[in-house]
Amino acid sequence: MTSANQRDQRDQYNHDDSHRWRPSPGEQSAERFWEDFYEEKDSVWSGKPNALLVREVEGVTPGTALDLGCGEGGDAIWLARQGWRVTAVDVSATALRRAEGHAAEAGVGDRITWQRHDLARSLPEGSFDLVSAQFLHSPVAEEGEREDILRRALDSVAPGGVLVIGSHAAWPSWVDSPPQDVHFPAVEEVVGALRLSDGQWTVEVAETVESELTDPEGRPGRRHDSVVRVRRAG
């Protein structure tokens, strides 16, 4: 699984992505789907960081960070520029090659380690002060796969560290006929699916956020996303 990354800082919504949501779970491997996804274009995302991640992390004392579903590296590069040492993960080798090149161009390549993982099967070893899971939605994920990944991501959070989850809460306003029946979790579902242990975790943020965007024709639109930030006891 990878993420549909980079927002509004989120000008990817100026493109019509609906055709990318046609496969059903089990029809295609995650690796093949996301390789095809990135090979369609020389560049997919804006290169800017996800706005919700910036909102939750900007100004925080940097440490070690894990970026799950890093795509072409926008979030990882932004974190590295803030002083974080980043491990960035994606299932697509094409995305990782592009991301590594962008990081070198930005002068932060020495602060980022790139790893290829299918998150449904493996995560990097170690613990991190920040684990970022931004928009881990995949049309080829099995039922419950995303929730399982997020629960396992909790194990990667160091004592006193945080997990920040950005999720889509609905299709953008201009999608009248969704190309696939996709369930976008409410913020309460995201928190509930983590199955947090009492006394071990604190829910610091759990909000639904409305963003103003432009549709593929350049007309004003909006999108509802959610952001969850949980902290492990120190």
- pLDDT 10s digits, 84-103: 999 999 988 898 999 999 99
What does DSSP say about strands 157-168 and 201-214: parallel, antiparallel, or unpaired? unpaired
Residue 52: its H or E element: helix 51-57
pLDDT in tens, 22-41: 444 455 677 677 677 777 77
- Angle 23-170-216 from CA coordinates, rounded to 5°: 75
Residue 10 pLDDT: 38
In angstroms, the Cα distances linking 98 to 166, 183, 228 are 23, 30, 28
How far, rounded to the nearest angstrom, does the alpha carbon of residue 23 sit from its chain's CA centroid? Answer: 20
Distance in angstroms (rounded) separating the CA atoms of residues 69 and 104:
19
- Tell me the pLDDT band of 45, cut-offs 50, 70 and 90: low
Window from 84-88, 131-135, 187-191, 220-224 with minimum mean pLDDT? 220-224
Q: How confident is the model at residue 111 (pLDDT cuts 50, 70, 90)?
A: very high
Q: What is the DSSP letter of 48?
A: P
Position 141 scores a pLDDT of 67
Domain boundaries of the chain, sorted by first residue: 11-232
CA distance 130 to 82: 13
Question: What is the rounded distance in angstroms from the CA atom of residue 201 to the CA atom of residue 34?
Answer: 33
Token pair recorded at residue 198: 């009492």
Residues 6+ apart with CB under 8 A from 41: none
Average pLDDT, whole number, for the chain? 84
Distance CA 22, CA 140 (A): 9
CATH of the structural domain 11-232, one choice from 3.40.50.300, 3.30.2180.10, 1.20.272.10, 3.40.50.150:
3.40.50.150
* Buried-state track 177-212, b at ≥16 Cβ within 10 A, e below 16: eeeeeeeebebeebbebbebeeeebeeebeeeeebe
Radius of gyration of the chain (CA): 17
Q: What distance lies between CA 156 and its chain's CA centroid? A: 16
Long-range CB contacts (within 8 A, 24+) of 140-148: 140/23, 140/24, 140/25, 140/26, 140/27, 140/28, 140/29, 140/30, 140/33, 141/1, 141/25, 141/30, 142/25, 142/26, 143/25, 145/1, 145/120, 146/1, 147/193, 148/120
Residue 5: predicted pLDDT: 41
pTM of the model: 0.84
**To the nearest whole percent, how much of the chain has pLDDT over 70?**
83
The mean per-residue pLDDT over the stretch 173-198 comes to 87
